[in-house]
Amino acid sequence: MTRVLVTGADGFIGSHLTEMLVAQGYQVKALTQYNSFNHWGWLENVACLKQIEILNGDVRDAHYCRTITKNVDIVFHLAALIAIPYSYVALDSYIDTNIKGTVNLCQAALENQVQRFIHTSTSEVYGTARYVPIDEKHPLQAQSPYSASKIASDAMAMSFYNAFNLPLTIARPFNTYGPRQSARAVIPTIITQIASGKKHIKLGDVTPTRDFNYVDDTCRSFIALAECAQAIGETVNIGSNYEISIGDTLAIIKALMHSDVEFTTDDQRLRPEKSEVFRLWCDNRKLVELTHFKPQVDIKEGLQRTINWLIQPENLKKYKADIYNV
């Protein structure tokens, strides 16, 4: 049985990936961030909880990373700070977790002879598109401290492949959405405010475009890359090759939820002008060529699944619709 470690397993994508790996027969160790409440984030209520080994720790600790990567075949490294607004006010946290944490884990994986290392990047490293669709050769643009930290962590990760032959792949997902997504993201922000009975929804700029991907498709892509020897040493976009504006996404959600809400601009949700990424559209041809993978969930089906999950009372109560979550 293949032994895998998922860092950031308590988060949105990590929890879904953990479930999918278990379902496909992998032996999974799931790293959750240490806290005194012994809370395992989104893993708390997954059906496969008894089939995974829960670890509590922090990728910022190099010694701990060496311990948890022992006897592991594949590392899926998702642990990161990802909120863009928070990166404006907590720069050191992003450097410590995203950059130093990645170095710690790569070094540990190298020392423990891990067979495959999947490092998670983000489409934010591209900044506003200079051309579309965006392929892996697109220039990198640090338009936020968060994206800068991920550009640096990607470079450090790839250096371990080039300098030390760590069998590493950089997986670069575009905008993933679905059940369990953080309240700071636009899609759960919209759905939870409508579900909470709001008549006016507060939003930032709705003109930017994104390439939205349902979480199951993102997770399937991660696993496909881990199983593809030709992906070693490569950076690979994960996306649908479909572009839609935030405003049009809102309109779909509004229609699916049979809502008559009105949208208003909340200044605190606006990014600084030069920091806003106005256009993201994924060229996913490299992923398809390497793995023959194709997205299976279109935007309307994915949004309906997300709505169905979020409107459940036990799920909705986990979100604070009245508070802007950075």
Q: Domain ends where: 191, 222, 238?
A: 238
User: Which residue in 26, 78, 18 sits closest to 49, CA to CA?
Assistant: 18
Same domain assignment for residues 64 and 121: yes
Give pLDDT tens digits for 180-189.
Answer: 999 888 899 8
| 297 contacts: CB under 8 Å, gap ≥ 6 | 214, 216, 217, 305
Sign of the CA dihedral with 31 first, then 127, 190, and 326 last: positive
Same domain assignment for residues 282 and 222: no
- Residue 56 is predicted with a pLDDT of 97
Residue 321 lies in a domain: no
- Residue 273 is predicted with a pLDDT of 67
Domains contained in the chain, number: 2
- Residue 203 is predicted with a pLDDT of 79
CATH number for position 168: 3.40.50.720
Same domain assignment for residues 264 and 234: no
- Residue 269 is predicted with a pLDDT of 59
Q: Tell me, what DSSP letter sits at residue 157?
A: H
Q: 240: burial class by Cβ within 10 Å (0-12, 13-18, 19+)?
A: buried
Q: Collapsing DSSP states into helix, strand and coil, what is residue 10?
A: coil
- Whether residue 237 contacts residue 135, with contact meaning beta carbons closer than 8 Å, is answered with yes
Same domain assignment for residues 90 and 190: no
Same domain assignment for residues 52 and 183: no
Query: d(Cα 97, Cα 46) in Å, to the nearest integer?
Result: 26
Same domain assignment for residues 234 and 191: no
Same domain assignment for residues 13 and 63: yes
CATH number for position 301: 3.90.25.10
Same domain assignment for residues 222 and 266: no
Residue 147 lies in a domain: yes
Alpha carbon of residue 285 to chain centroid = 20
- Residue 262 is predicted with a pLDDT of 86
Q: Collapsing DSSP states into helix, strand and coil, what is residue 16?
A: helix
- Residue 286 is predicted with a pLDDT of 98
Residue 223 lies in a domain: yes
The residue to which tokens 């008894």 are assigned: 50
Residue 194 lies in a domain: yes
Same domain assignment for residues 197 and 99: no
Residue 325 lies in a domain: no
Same domain assignment for residues 251 and 229: no
The segments of the chain whose pLDDT lies below 70 read 266-271, 273, 275, 321-326
Same domain assignment for residues 21 and 156: yes
Same domain assignment for residues 165 and 282: no
Residue 323 lies in a domain: no
| 4 contacts: CB under 8 Å, gap ≥ 6 | 21, 26, 27, 28, 29, 72, 73, 74, 75, 76
CA dist 212 → 71, 102, 113, 242, 243 (Å): 35, 26, 35, 8, 8
Per-residue buried b or exposed e for 48-71, using 16+ beta carbons within 10 Å of the residue's own CB: eeeebebbebbbbeeebbbebbee
- Residue 270 is predicted with a pLDDT of 59
Query: d(Cα 167, Cα 3) in Å, to the nearest integer?
Result: 16
Give pLDDT tens digits for 226-241.
Answer: 999 999 999 999 999 9
> What domain range is 193 assigned to?
178-210+242-316
Residue 165 lies in a domain: yes
Query: d(Cα 56, Cα 66) in Å, to the nearest integer?
Result: 14
Q: Collapsing DSSP states into helix, strand and coil, what is residue 220?
A: helix
Query: d(Cα 178, Cα 182) in Å, to the nearest integer?
Result: 10
Q: What region, left, alpha or beta, does residue 204 occupy, with left being phi > 0 and alpha being psi -120 to 50 degrees?
A: beta
Residue 322 lies in a domain: no
